[in-house]
Structure 1
Amino acid sequence: MSFRRVFTFGILAFATSMASSALAGSWVEIGDAGSLPSTAQYVLGSGPLDLISGQLADEFDVDVYAIYVDGGGTFSASTVGLTSVDTKLFLFDASGLGVYGNDDADVFTLQSLLPAGDPLTPLAAGVYFLAVTSYPIDPLSAGGSIFLQPLFPEEVVGPVGPGGSSPVTGYDGSGEAGAYGISLTGARFINNTAVPEPSTLTMTAGAAALGLGVGAAKSRRGRRAESGRA
């Protein structure tokens, strides 16, 4: 077995032991989760995953977590009642392609909901990437915006923007810092057997799981005006 493989699985074993020592079903951000699938924090362990909690460190911060989704339309993610931050949530598939996103869960809250049972909710099980940002930060690909801003912010949006057919590469805008929680259904910790091969994991996902913040690219573009925002 190569040194790289031994090193990688040593990282995975350490992160898994930390996850198992936390409250059952919950994960607390280790260090600063990366902002892209290549630098995501892998939520390692076993069993159902009910809650992720973390911190947006500054107005440009974006946190991305690699989780296992059960499929069958059962997945949901929500920050409602778990943060004072004006959040946005986005889900990407294993290739970094957008699945769906949401700004406001309803007209009464500035927090976010990716619902179960929506036509855009994943049917296929597997590893997905869940991103939490603050308003008005949006994901970009090489082709531009992945998700178009909806007419009503409580709408669930698919990857119908000009960059929707390409993987996420960065973000546009700046928002706010603060602590958050994300409640989940239809999600699990990632068992080591579901983690990508070491050639793609070493010094990216593995290091991010240790909170080393490898290559977390944070877009520093100008803040959009928030006129008309509650």
Structure 2
Amino acid sequence: MKSWGLAGAMAAALVSASAFAAPTVYTEGLLGTGALPGAADNVGAAEGGLKISGRLTDGKGGNAANLVDMYKFNVGYAGTYFFNTQGTSIVDTQLFLFDSSGKGLAWNNDVDLASGNTQSAFSTFLGLGDYYIALSFWGVDPEDEFATPVFDTLGTNDGPANAGAGAVANWADFYGNTSWDLDDYAINAYVPEPGALALSLAALALMAGVSRRRVASRKS
């Protein structure tokens, strides 16, 4: 738990240090947010950073299934934005970014920093405008209206959208055996200052040991 606490502290410090304005803090409401652009909660401006918190459920234990959450945000300062799931209790996350029309831009399953690190992070340049960020359980992936995967989630660990894929219109549960029940998540975003991105990636690496232990505990 010491590693997790240090990682969280580093993340918070980096967000504060790199923000151009106070970060937008948003907590998912009781009614939840949608999984598609037309139903996504609008969290507002992102140029000062984002700190979004919510909860996914697998439908077991008497809870209604909620495998994906999506949020809309606005970029008023063009730059390279860093997204991560630091502070998340979900064992294995996937993080997806879409443009204003719902077409895929970037995604990540597991941060490729250490064996067993199942949290998510990626960085990408964003121009001015609206975007959507979505978080899902591992194995729950976006498809367009023709059931074409928006991202190559089965063949890669992260990257750009599949060529020719349309806007997200559905989410397919390829795993079909989630067992996390109720789990809280965090989505963070900010514009890194020089050196901040490397430090934040180091913070995510500290979470690897915790992730390995949680995966082993949940699947045993």
Task: Provide the C-alpha distance between the structure 2 equivalents of 1:39 and 1:181, rounded to a whole number of angstroms.
Answer: 19
1:93-114 Cα deviation digits (max 9, x unpaired): 0001000111011233111112
Partner of 1:33: 33
Matched residues, percent identical? 30
Aligned residues: 158
Q: Higher strand share goes to which structure? A: 2
Task: Provide the C-alpha distance between the structure 2 equivalents of 1:61 and 1:82, rounded to a whole number of angstroms.
Answer: 15
Task: Provide the C-alpha distance between the structure 1 equivalents of 2:75 and 2:171, rounded to a whole number of angstroms.
Answer: 24
SS in structure 2 opposite 1:26?
strand
SS in structure 2 opposite 1:38?
helix
Partner of 1:91: 97
Task: Provide the C-alpha distance between the structure 2 equivalents of 1:158 and 1:137, rounded to a whole number of angstroms.
Answer: 17
Task: Provide the C-alpha distance between the structure 2 equivalents of 1:47 and 1:89, rounded to a whole number of angstroms.
Answer: 19
Letter in 2 for 1:179: D
SS in structure 2 opposite 1:145?
coil
SS in structure 1 opposite 2:86?
coil
- Answer yes or no: is the 8 Å Cα contact 2:46–2:190 preserved in 1: no
Q: In the TM superposition, what is the alpha-carbon distance from 1:82 to its structure 2 partner?
A: 2.9
- Answer yes or no: is the 8 Å Cα contact 2:94–2:135 preserved in 1: yes
1:183 maps to 2:188: yes
1:131 maps to 2:137: no
Partner of 2:57: 57
Letter in 1 for 2:75: V
Ranges in structure 2 where 5+ consecutive residues have no aligned partner: 1-21, 59-64, 193-218
Q: Higher helix share goes to which structure? A: 2
Ranges in structure 1 where 5+ consecutive residues have no aligned partner: 1-22, 116-120, 188-228
Letter in 1 for 2:119: Q
Task: Provide the C-alpha distance between the structure 2 equivalents of 1:136 and 1:102, rounded to a whole number of angstroms.
Answer: 12
What is the TM-score normalised by the length of structure 1?
0.60
- Answer yes or no: is the 8 Å Cα contact 1:28–1:52 preserved in 2: yes
Which of the residues 70, 81, 89 maps onto 1:75? Answer: 81
Partner of 2:122: 114
Task: Provide the C-alpha distance between the structure 1 equivalents of 2:53 and 2:66, rounded to a whole number of angstroms.
Answer: 18
1:63-99 Cα deviation digits (max 9, x unpaired): 0000113564421211134323311000010001000
What is the TM-score normalised by the length of structure 2?
0.63
Task: Provide the C-alpha distance between the structure 2 equivalents of 1:67 and 1:53, rounded to a whole number of angstroms.
Answer: 14
Give the 3 Å change call, closer, same or farther, for CA 24–102 of structure 1 in structure 2: closer
